[in-house]
Structure 1
């Protein structure tokens, strides 16, 4: 069973395209008229006005794609079912860290398209995110075992690395999306849509949430993170990697 067949129920409700990230991704794709969207999930960040083929291994995620989404095939990044140079660009948004063999998957991206646009993240920054550091430190080990943006950039041969900060009112429920809205982590629906939490030890998460709930109630979280409350955006380590032949 694919991971997201298990944890992806309701994913489309919590992981919605944020137009600010969408604009940067569209710009990175440039004039590419045909795009392979690898690890496409429910269709977030798929570009409009281009010919798109989505590739996704999870039946649950495919089931949640809207009726007007791009056509999709069920396959994995490591074995893309298309010919060499099948598209002008390949897109992979927050998916490489889930691949069984990420180096082989990146080689496939290079095979199928002359332009590669990959959204990844700095795993060390995620491991040091306040929620992990203060409430569920057990998450850090899994995060540090995933490929980091810098590693992916090197293997991909990225010529450009664009930081993507997370606005305070971000609409896409990625794990650090709620850096200024900590009470959101108490919502089971929010946690289900963050793979870092959905895959963490449930007992560790429950313990951490108990501490967070108490810190929110007595104001300790606010006292510790007063500096965050005045920020409009936060660098959680997300990086858009752009590689061209």
Structure 2
């Protein structure tokens, strides 16, 4: 999470509420780790409440929105220069944040340095086209490719990893970019869009949303994508990357 969120992250806690099903997948991936580091922690949405957690986040705006959470400690800092001793943590997690790091290689290496057990990452596979949203904002495809490492990257720098799909439920409570795959009208709300950095990075978003609004009113969207309304989960390209230790 970069300092951009000092400017755009003022309502992040409201628009990016943790989804319990995604939280459960992260919990399972962490195994029996007791002391957990959360890198690029944002407002701390997915931090496990039954473990000792230390959060690292560069944006003071995000830190100020953190939930009141028992023993959780938040430190202002960056993934590329973690202010901790070697092998300090049982496990480390970094959720939907690597695309904000200035140096992903150094960030992963430093996570490995301070962690004696598993590393758990939630990220997006840039080889995926996401959802129908890219038909309205085709620039998302190039943006994802520019910001996000390929899936092969993680094994190269972390060793053996498992890569697990994270299907997104139709009523996902977290407002990340492709969360509203079955609720297209949600994208018409500027407050919801503000919770995703991609909308801040692309030009002509308003024009694309006007076209989406017109297509919803005319029935064009339903004719093209209405088959999704029958689905309860969708694989939009989000992945859990979990190291062997």
In 2, Cα distance between the equivalents of 1:98 and 1:150?
Answer: 17
Deviation at 1:149, TM superposition (A): 5.1
Deviation at 1:156, TM superposition (A): 2.3
In 2, Cα distance between the equivalents of 1:92 and 1:116?
Answer: 8
Deviation at 1:34, TM superposition (A): 0.2
Aligned-residue Cα RMSD (Å) equals: 1.4
Deviation at 1:200, TM superposition (A): 1.6
Deviation at 1:65, TM superposition (A): 0.5
Alpha-carbon distance change, 149 to 120 in structure 1, aligned in 2, over 3 angstroms: farther
Alpha-carbon distance change, 78 to 98 in structure 1, aligned in 2, over 3 angstroms: same
In 1, Cα distance between the equivalents of 2:207 and 2:137?
Answer: 8
Residues 127 and 150 in structure 2, CA contact (< 8 A), matched pair in contact too: no
Tell me the alpha carbon deviations over residues 19-51 of structure 1, each in whole angstroms, 9 at most, x when there is no partner: 101111111111101000000000111011111
Structure 2 gap ranges (5+): none
Residues 126 and 145 in structure 2, CA contact (< 8 A), matched pair in contact too: yes
Deviation at 1:71, TM superposition (A): 1.1
What does residue 206 of structure 2 align with? 206
Deviation at 1:210, TM superposition (A): 1.2
What does residue 126 of structure 2 align with? 123
Moved more, 221-230 or 74-83: 221-230
| Number of equivalences | 241
Tell me the alpha carbon deviations over residues 38-78 of structure 1, each in whole angstroms, 9 at most, x when there is no partner: 00000111011111000000011001002226210000000
Answering whether residue 85 of structure 2 is matched by residue 79 of structure 1, we say no
What does residue 103 of structure 2 align with? 101
Tell me the alpha carbon deviations over residues 90-144 of structure 1, each in whole angstroms, 9 at most, x when there is no partner: 1101111110000100001110112101111111324x53112x21212322111
What does residue 160 of structure 1 align with? 162
In 2, Cα distance between the equivalents of 1:166 and 1:148?
Answer: 21
Q: Any residues of structure 2 matched to 1:1-245 within 5 Å, and which?
A: 2-68=3-69, 70-113=72-115, 114-126=117-129, 128-132=130-134, 134-148=135-149, 150-154=151-155, 155-201=157-203, 204-245=204-245
In 2, Cα distance between the equivalents of 1:7 and 1:30?
Answer: 34
Residues 120 and 149 in structure 1, CA contact (< 8 A), matched pair in contact too: no
Residues 82 and 112 in structure 1, CA contact (< 8 A), matched pair in contact too: yes
